Amino acid sequence: ILYCGTNSGVFKTTNLGENWKLIGLQNTQVCAFYVYNNYYFAGTNNGIRISNDGGTSWASNVTGDSVISLYSFSEKLLAGTNHGVKVSTDFGNNWVSIGLNSYRINSFTNMADTLLTSTNIGVFATTNMGNNWINLGPKQQTCGLVIFDNKIYAGGVNCVWRKDANLLTGVS
């Protein structure tokens, strides 16, 4: 099963993309989509929409900002917005800011207990759920973020940025 958020709602395929079915949020721009503990979360320009019935119905949960990325880490749900990282510990009912409020959060990944995020000014890392954030570079907008072969990769402006993930050991 694969889900896709689009400018026209959320679509689902059960046959590797041969056919797609609109399952909700018709005519809504969905910037991010995430399944977490049998809940569906759709990040939109007007916050987060949540479904607990497979996409048949959607409740609004406005985080006060556009939601660009969604991720789960350490049994918490994270939302990347135009104004920082928000976290929920109750399946999206309540959200608390955990920093980077001046930045657009484009994506998340993690390596063990370190959470990483790509932003409009580089990649940041935290080992304490946002109490402290460390700017890893590259001092430009980064998008997609992945860890592979013990290296951190992020798409940058006309480049792919790479950093040795071993440098994260001991970050506090």
The average pLDDT across 155-161 equals: 88
User: Residue range 70-77: average pLDDT?
Assistant: 94
pLDDT confidence band for 166 (50 / 70 / 90) = confident
Residue 171: pLDDT over 80: no
Contact 134, 90 (CB under 8 A): no
For range 21-46, the mean pLDDT = 92
- The pLDDT, as a whole number, for residue 168 is 65
pLDDT band at 158 (very low <50, low <70, confident <90, very high): confident
At 172, the pLDDT band (50, 70, 90 cuts) reads: very low
Task: Using alpha carbons only, give the angle 163, 167, 168 rounded to the nearest 5 degrees.
Answer: 105
Residue 56 has pLDDT above 60, yes or no: yes
**What is the model's pTM?**
0.89
Q: What integer best gives the mean pLDDT of the chain?
A: 91
Q: Which of the pair, 93 or 119, is modelled with greater confidence?
A: 119
- Is the per-residue pLDDT at 77 higher than 60? yes
